[in-house]
Chains A and B, each alone.
Chain A
Amino acid sequence: MHSARSADTAELARRIRLHVVRMVNRGKSSHVGSALSIADIVAVLYGAVLNVDPADPHKPDRDRFLLSKGHAGAAVYAALAETGFFDPSLLAQHYQNGSVFSGHVSHKGVPGVELSTGALGHGLNVATGMALAATRARETWRAFALLSDGECDEGSTWEAAMFAAHHRLDNLVAVIDYNKLQSLASVEETLALEPFADKWRAFGWSVAEVDGHDHAQLHAAFARLPFAAERPSVILAHTTKGKGVSFMENQVAWHYRTPLGSDFDTAIAELEAAHA
């Protein structure tokens, strides 16, 4: 059963990647590596996990998904378009003059986006507030926040981590896009996070580690939520920045660089071939 769903979400992820590369090329914008990094996670969430309804984006019992690493907004816009929140043709407006489709994800005028982010270290905190709101109101929806590894440099992230465990928010899920590259260098060279899983455990979270590009593993992990009663759950998703485009993978340069000309053609060709 997982394999059929995995095939569906893998195809969704491939389409998200194609949109992302086209959006970044057209907008001459950046963060393509960060958006490709989370395509599989976002595809599994929107394709199979989240209780959301594109026909009623504000339905009260929906799961909330917050992209805390707002710079990867292109991947979320693409996922929302592909799952029916708005017409995919609108993605052409990304980064364009006069558009609401900002590089860092924005809720203003974009159906399905819960929170505008861009400054790091906000998403997990707001998601924690949402999880607390649901708990206090005795409602059963969940709050998900997708963070970058670099974002765990922010002290506010750990304020939320401590708070969520203290308040036993098992309706809260953090997913870390652990691609191990920051803007200028690796995570280990910048501010080492290891032993990362132990840090979360020490803060009172239940932890799962998955290959963040393996759809079967992602489905299985999300199906086990919460990992422990009365504990928030964190999924450390081991990923590759730039995943899906060979020359972008694991390259710091593609944090900011735009695929143009032959780079763009090659990237599209690789992603289209991945379908075959």
Chain B
Amino acid sequence: MRDAFIETLTELAAQDPRVMLITGDLGYGVLGAFAERFPDQFLNAGVAEQNMTAIACGMALSGWRVYTYSIANFPTLRCLEQVRNDICYHDCDVTIVAVGGGFSYGQLGMSHFATEDLAIMRALPNMRVVAPTEKWEAQDLLRDLAQAKGPAYLRIDKDAGGMARRAGERATLGKARRVRDGADVTIIATGAILREALIAAERLSTQGVDCRIEAMHTIKPLDEAAILSAAAETGGVVTLEEHNRVGGLKGAVAETLLSAGARVGFFRSIALDDMFPTVVGDQLYLRARYGMDAAAVEATVLSALSSGLPLGRLAESA
């Protein structure tokens, strides 16, 4: 996804001389070509994320369109007050790009796990929060963000996703993408962990369970209509995210359902328990280890459907 991001940003920088990419001393081998081609539009701020973020604010207030770039928590949590007070309060045209969503840097340990970022960024007024589920989606959404202006958080996964673009398909900022249609359950996923839902849905289909899948690449603004449709038209809702179960996609979907008074057959969340993982491993390993992989999705759906709670269409047709 990282290469897809820089490829699209290169297009944007070529079109607009006020596009600025600021890295916090990261991106060796990734940003080099951009830096060489656009020396006036590239800056390495050094290992100083507070300053990087405030610099971005100062440039944006002076008419530039700025992208800050770093790994996981550094351009967000390390400088959260600069993000809040400088970028968001002043409604600056700054997109914060965090490479390393979720367990992307799973071997590096807890400091490099971005597993609270969605909740924290979502809580900031004016901030859009985007976690693409596919590499090509990252490109569509980056173009949309460039059009939309204002503060944004773009969470890039190491995982490139699991499904190529289908003919005519496009990801649109703020609108969920229906990846698969189905009536028994809707799995709503954000980030590249969506691939686990795709695998689970295939397995579940052989057991007679018909899964709808919504790619909820934009957490804020949230596509509430897609969530309410899922509640009304399918047996229940399962959220899936590579993130703490507190305050991220689960929270956003639950708030939507409860606020609208929606009747939902069941509601389940697959996410990281409220904890810091202490073992390391690659992204796929950690998903499995912490109960967030396709097997977990499959088991959760089956258990929900047979739990005796009000059932959806599966029960009606039985």
Contacts and interface: CB of A to CB of B under 8 A. Distances in A.
A121 B50 contact: yes
Contacts of A159: 46, 48, 50-51
A116 B90 contact: yes
A122 to B, nearest CB: 6
Contacts of A128: 51, 54-55, 58
Contacts of A143: 58
B25 interface: no
B54 A116 contact: no
Contacts, number: 89
B45 interface: yes
A19 B110 CA distance: 52
B85 A163 contact: no
Interface residues of B, number: 26
A155 interface: yes
Given A128-B54, A133-B59, A116 B64 contact: no
B254 to A, nearest CB: 32
A115 B51 contact: no
A163 B61 contact: no
B82 A122 contact: yes
Contacts of A60: 63
A113 B81 CA distance: 20
Interface in B150-190: none
Given A125-B82, A133-B58, A163-B55, A116 B46 contact: no
Interface string B15-50: 000101000000000000000000010010110101
A122 B58 contact: no
A185 to B, nearest CB: 25
Nearest to A166: B46
A130 B54 contact: no
7 contacts: A64-B62, A129-B54, A129-B57, A133-B62, A136-B40, A143-B58, A163-B51
Interface of B: 18, 20, 40, 43, 45-46, 48, 50-51, 54-64, 81-82, 85-86, 89-90
